[in-house]
């Protein structure tokens, strides 16, 4: 290995490299070995194999860091870093990708668009997320972001014959490109300020300036706008409901969880790295955004009849909650963000899984009406959905409660009492619309009796999601320890 690509570089890059190579190999594999439609399921196995390798390398990183007593491993002259934070988030991405792949094959067969490229795109999007979470250089982060975003643009439009899917892809593409423009403008100003693209150099340059210095403020403002777009926080949320509704439901699940988790990882890197010194500037902005997100997300969700739209607004409000942890900014808050992201992953994925199962031949199954009487048709799914809804609402003993608990705790610790009260009030509003779904499932009569589209992958995925949602709620200790290791130092 040369001086430009050392052993450390290789080791740190390994998870991303594996994902990229397996992603590219999927395309060839699909083309050469499984050209026939009915064998495309094999690609799910292939993807899980890829994730197994990636997981192994992530595990190796954890042990390596622990064995050598390191907190981080820096590679590519400071472009890429492996620390607890990136390992934690990569586990989240990995779990998301596996679950999404498990539920996808049946759904895509029903939609008549089961192509191998889908799995390749999942892997490549995940490699983008890897660079987003592990990157410590503006260029690396931005390329990782685009890697993820372009994969998602394509996946959102994957149902090519469906006009809604096309429309969603178009809207997502346009607004995504628009927000990337803001972000890159902010990045360019940061580069202009510090003369370097490394986050540490930029942090030093921010620290050396007055936080209200106009050029620093310009960099901060444009970057923050771009970041808020990506996590779909109000007032930059308008793409989310349309994109979520039109996209194939499996992709919506991936988008609402994977993309959001990756964007939060990215957001934390920026806010706790370069922008840490100008906390006094961005804290009021973020408080406003978080409260607006909770307001708009929760209130707009009430009137939705489409479950995917409802969940889209709910995910906007969850983004608001997660931001609160960052606003508090102490260790509890950051731990709260990590645990909230983890919890949100499983409960939100779970909710989407049930919607995916509702999609059957000739039945779209996305309205709240379609859930009517689910208790009688598929009691198992109905009970699991109840768990997910309770968790999304944040009711003990589910995982959602743990997430919210840490966020509120951190707000109390740092004296943001008013914000905490507002956030708590919105939990009450959220319970209302989550229970509309529950009421429909348990109280309403059966509207149509077709059985749900269950497959082996679906059963496994639902079981895992529900199991973890309960497990984190009942016995949070190991997960809290995981989150503890993810703190950026």
Closest C-alpha to 147, from 289, 259, 293, 60? 259
Cis ω before 89 (30° cut-off from 0):
no
Which CB atom, from 10 or from 60, has the smaller least distance to other proteins?
10
Report the residue from 115, 164, 360, 376 that binds other proteins according to the rule CB under 8 A.
115
Check if the beta carbon of residue 487 is closer than 8 Å to that of residue 84: yes
Q: Does 24 bind other proteins (CB under 8 A)?
A: yes
Please report, as residue ranges, which positions from 225 to 264 form the binding site for other proteins (by CB under 8 A). none
Which CB atom, from 160 or from 439, has the smaller least distance to other proteins?
160
Q: Residue 285 class from Cβ within 10 Å (0-12 exposed, 13-18 middle, 19+ buried)? A: middle
Report the residue from 15, 55, 84, 144 that binds other proteins according to the rule CB under 8 A.
144
**Among the candidate windows 152-160, 242-250, 318-326, 413-421, which touches other proteins by CB under 8 A?**
152-160
Q: Does 364 bind other proteins (CB under 8 A)?
A: no
Report the residue from 121, 202, 294, 393 that binds other proteins according to the rule CB under 8 A.
121
Tokens 């059963």 -> residue:
459
**Among the candidate windows 131-139, 259-267, 373-381, 465-473, which touches other proteins by CB under 8 A?**
131-139
Q: Which residues pair with 302 in a beta bridge?
A: none
**247-274 in b/e burial notation, b at 16+ Cβ within 10 A?**
bbbbbbbbbbbbbbbbbbbbbbbbbbbb
Q: Does 158 bind other proteins (CB under 8 A)?
A: yes
Give the integer Cα–Cα distance in Å for 150 and 208. Answer: 36
- Nearest distance in Å: CB 212, other proteins: 12
Strand pairing class (80-83; 72-75): antiparallel
Q: Does 5 bind other proteins (CB under 8 A)?
A: yes
- Nearest distance in Å: CB 189, other proteins: 9
Q: Does 140 bind other proteins (CB under 8 A)?
A: yes
Which CB atom, from 72 or from 213, has the smaller least distance to other proteins?
213
Q: Does 147 bind other proteins (CB under 8 A)?
A: yes
Report the residue from 55, 84, 157, 241 that binds other proteins according to the rule CB under 8 A.
157
Written as six digits, the tokens of 427 are: 């939990």
Report the residue from 120, 241, 400, 476 that binds other proteins according to the rule CB under 8 A.
120
Which CB atom, from 202 or from 334, has the smaller least distance to other proteins?
202
Which CB atom, from 27 or from 454, has the smaller least distance to other proteins?
27
Q: Residue 418 class from Cβ within 10 Å (0-12 exposed, 13-18 middle, 19+ buried)? A: exposed
**Among the candidate windows 99-107, 153-161, 246-254, 317-325, which touches other proteins by CB under 8 A?**
153-161
Report the residue from 34, 74, 110, 154 that binds other proteins according to the rule CB under 8 A.
154
- Nearest distance in Å: CB 155, other proteins: 9
- Nearest distance in Å: CB 32, other proteins: 15
> Residue 415 — left, alpha, or beta (φ > 0 → left; ψ -120 to 50 → alpha)?
left
Give the integer Cα–Cα distance in Å for 327 and 413. Answer: 12
Write out the DSSP string of 50-115. HHHHHHHHHHHHHHHHHHTT-SEEEEGGGTEEEEHHHHHHHHHHHHHHHHHHHHHHHHHHHHT---
Give the integer Cα–Cα distance in Å for 175 and 15. Answer: 30
Which CB atom, from 146 or from 245, has the smaller least distance to other proteins?
146
DSSP structure class, residue 137: B
**Among the candidate windows 73-81, 84-92, 276-284, 402-410, which touches other proteins by CB under 8 A?**
73-81
Q: Does 20 bind other proteins (CB under 8 A)?
A: yes
Which CB atom, from 137 or from 370, has the smaller least distance to other proteins?
137
Written as six digits, the tokens of 88 are: 């934690």
Check if the beta carbon of residue 353 is closer than 8 Å to that of residue 462: yes
Report the residue from 54, 96, 127, 469 that binds other proteins according to the rule CB under 8 A.
127
Write out the DSSP string of 166-200. HHHHHHHHHHHHHHHHHHHHHHHHHHHHHS--BHH
CA 358 to centroid of chain Cα atoms: 23
Check if the beta carbon of residue 230 is closer than 8 Å to that of residue 141: no
The alpha helices in 195-306, defined as continuous H runs, are 199-208, 214-230, 239-246, 249-254, 260-272, 279-302
Please report, as residue ranges, which positions from 165 to 194 form the binding site for other proteins (by CB under 8 A). 169, 192-193
- Nearest distance in Å: CB 144, other proteins: 7
- Nearest distance in Å: CB 373, other proteins: 37
Longest dimension (CA), the chain: 69
Which CB atom, from 193 or from 286, has the smaller least distance to other proteins?
193
Which CB atom, from 196 or from 484, has the smaller least distance to other proteins?
196
Please report, as residue ranges, which positions from 198 to 227 form the binding site for other proteins (by CB under 8 A). 213-215, 218
Which CB atom, from 80 or from 389, has the smaller least distance to other proteins?
80
Binding residues for other proteins (CB under 8 A): 4-5, 13, 20, 24, 27, 76-77, 79-80, 113, 115, 117, 120-121, 124, 127, 131, 137, 139-140, 142-144, 146-147, 150-151, 153-154, 157-158, 160, 169, 192-193, 213-215, 218
């Amino acid at each position: 290995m040369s001086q430009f690509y050392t052993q450390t570089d290789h080791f740190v890059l390994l998870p991303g490299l594996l994902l990229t190579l397996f992603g590219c190999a999927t395309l060839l594999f699909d083309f050469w070995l499984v050209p026939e439609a009915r064998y495309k399921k094999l690609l799910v196995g292939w993807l899980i194999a890829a994730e197994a390798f990636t997981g192994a390398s992530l595990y190796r990183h954890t042990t390596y860091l622990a064995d050598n007593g390191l907190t981080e491993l820096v590679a590519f002259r400071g472009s890429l870093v492996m620390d607890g934070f990136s390992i934690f988030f990569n586990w989240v991405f990995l779990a998301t990708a596996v679950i999404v792949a498990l539920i996808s094959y049946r759904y895509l067969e029903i939609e008549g668009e089961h192509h191998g490229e889908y799995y390749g795109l999942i892997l490549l999007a995940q490699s983008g997320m890897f660079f987003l979470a592990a990157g410590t250089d503006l260029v690396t982060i931005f390329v990782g972001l685009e890697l993820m975003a372009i994969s998602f643009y394509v996946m959102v439009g994957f149902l090519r014959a469906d006009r809604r899917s096309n429309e969603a892809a178009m809207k997502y593409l346009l607004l995504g490109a628009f927000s990337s423009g803001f972000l890159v403008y902010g990045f360019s100003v940061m580069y202009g300020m510090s003369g370097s693209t490394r986050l540490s150099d930029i942090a030093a340059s921010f620290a050396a300036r007055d936080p209200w210095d106009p050029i620093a403020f310009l960099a901060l403002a444009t970057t923050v706008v771009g970041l808020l777009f990506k996590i779909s926080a109000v007032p930059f949320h308008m793409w989310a409901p349309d994109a979520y509704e039109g996209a194939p439901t499996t992709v919506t699940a991936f988008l609402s969880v994977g993309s959001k988790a990756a964007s939060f990882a990215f957001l934390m890197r920026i806010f706790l790295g370069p922008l840490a010194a100008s906390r006094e500037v961005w804290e009021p902005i973020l408080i406003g955004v978080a409260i607006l997100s909770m307001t708009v997300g929760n209130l707009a969700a009430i009137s939705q009849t489409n479950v995917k739209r409802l969940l889209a607004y709910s995910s906007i409000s969850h983004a608001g909650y997660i931001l609160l942890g960052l606003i508090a900014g102490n260790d509890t808050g950051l731990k709260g963000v990590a645990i909230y992201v983890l919890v949100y992953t499983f409960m939100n994925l779970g909710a989407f899984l049930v919607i995916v199962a509702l999609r059957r031949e000739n039945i779209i199954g996305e309205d709240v009406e379609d859930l009517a009487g689910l208790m009688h048709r598929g009691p198992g799914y109905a009970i699991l959905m109840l768990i997910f809804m309770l968790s999304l609402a944040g009711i003990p003993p589910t995982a959602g409660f743990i997430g919210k608990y840490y966020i509120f705790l951190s707000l109390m610790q740092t004296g943001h009492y008013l914000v905490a009260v507002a956030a708590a009030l919105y939990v009450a509003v959220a319970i209302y619309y989550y229970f509309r779904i529950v009421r429909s499932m348990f109280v309403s009569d059966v509207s149509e009796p077709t059985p749900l589209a269950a497959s082996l992958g679906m059963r496994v995925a639902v079981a895992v999601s529900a199991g973890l949602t309960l497990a984190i709620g009942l016995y949070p200790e190991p997960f809290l320890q995981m989150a503890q290791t993810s703190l950026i130092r």
